[in-house]
Amino acid sequence: MAVSRKISGLMEQGSWIRKMFEEGAALKQQFGDENVFDLSLGNPIMEPPPEFFSELKRIVDEPISGLHRYMPNAGFVETRAAVAAQLREETGLDFTANQVVMTAGAGGAMNVIFKTLLDPGDEVIVFAPYFVEYFFYADNHGGTGHAVPPDDAFLPDLDAFESAITDRTRIVLVNSPNNPTGVLYGADVLARIGDIIQRKERETGREIFLVSDEPYRKILFDGLEYSHVFERHVRSIVATSHSKDLALPGERIGFIAVHPDYDEGSELMDGLVFCNRTLGFVNAPAMMQNIVAKLQSVTVDVAQYQDKRDFMYEQLTDIGYEMVKPQGAFYMFPKSPIDDDVEFTAELVKHNVLVVPGRGFGTPGYFRLSYCVTDETLEGSLDGFRQAFERNSA
């Protein structure tokens, strides 16, 4: 066997998106790209904003001496200061460069945080539906994941959450706007999560960290505002990236931010910097650090994503699909018209429409579609959605 039994098993658990990708590649080869409607991947079709290319051109035209050398493992001081300044403006908290670590995207940030905080057997609580790789990240560093079910609006069931916390709980992980639902956790929900964590800290005598994975934080619709976890718990940490808000997923650039009022923040930062290095990231990409330092208040044209959301929501609900209307990100999570979401996604494949079964996100009976694709792909998928629904609805 080429890989360990453990990794073979984990690959099987986390293979739904990969399976749909491979299915799509085979269909495109058979029918042509223009006749396959792949809504399975969260890979933004949108190009980075003009400011990105202006900064890139500036660096090319006016090379910075030493740009490509090693730097402090936490990242360039100037870049971290720029991130801190934006966080100060958004939160009113006294962030400085000393609370920021630049990372190789949000995935790198999450692994650095988990490596820093987890002892073997520690638990990470996540809220379903969830990005399946959270469990793999926890396993990477000796932890275990524990999923809490949602309510009917795909917000956390807070009674179930409180019951799930044990004396081994170390991290509570939130993702808002959520992948795969697009649901936003509002101030009231985050406040209750923070209250529960603090009450359980007193009961168990153990520090519990509230970690927020928020690569979609700036992709919000309908004039909604983002609620920061920093306002809810002093032991809060943010992991994020510019993969979505600047459409740079291939550049792997993000950051970690630690609450500036946490008493042991200096020790925590030392641990994060150490793990950033020893996990093999060493430091975040130098050129991207220099570029995003100038783009902290910039984002892609979110109105384009809102238009795509509105179009797909109206079209699918007119067909008869039931779903919670997304408030951000670029995903929808409709209810499957039959109980078996895998069977229904297979039916969609017959019409050259690719989505991901909900069980891949810990919530069977639903499916995820990504609308960060061309309008032609969205429009082309509708006939398949209609035929599959009519064939499978009672």
Is the pLDDT at 14 greater than 70? The verdict is no
- pLDDT value, residue 1: 67
Q: Cα(183)–Cα(94) distance, rounded to whole angstroms?
A: 29
Residue 369 to residues 43, 210, 211, 265, 312: CA-CA distances in angstroms? 12, 28, 26, 39, 10
One DSSP character per residue, 26-49 reads HHHHHH-GGG-EE-------SPPP
Q: Where are the alpha helices (DSSP H) in 141-264?
A: 158-164, 187-204
Tell which CATH classification among 3.20.20.120, 3.30.930.10, 3.40.640.10, 3.30.1280.10 matches the domain 50-292: 3.40.640.10
Q: Cα(36)–Cα(351) distance, rounded to whole angstroms?
A: 8
Q: What is the mean pLDDT of the chain?
A: 95
Domain boundaries, the chain: 5-48+300-392, 50-292
Question: What confidence tens digit (pLDDT) does each residue in 63-97 have?
Answer: 989 999 999 999 999 999 999 999 999 999 999 99
- pLDDT value, residue 79: 98
Question: What confidence tens digit (pLDDT) does each residue in 220-254 have?
Answer: 999 999 999 999 999 999 999 999 999 999 999 99
Q: Cα(144)–Cα(135) distance, rounded to whole angstroms?
A: 7
In eight-state DSSP terms, residue 176 is S
Is the pLDDT at 31 greater than 90? The verdict is no
- pLDDT value, residue 12: 72
The answer to whether 257 touches 99, Cβ cutoff 8 Å, is yes
The answer to whether 354 touches 23, Cβ cutoff 8 Å, is yes
Averaged pLDDT for residues 36-56: 94
pTM for the full model? 0.95
Answer yes or no: same fold for 5-48+300-392 and 50-292. no
> How is domain 5-48+300-392 classified at the CATH fold level?
Aspartate Aminotransferase, domain 1 (3.90.1150)
- Is residue 10 very low, low, confident or very high in pLDDT (cuts 50, 70, 90)? confident
- pLDDT value, residue 27: 77
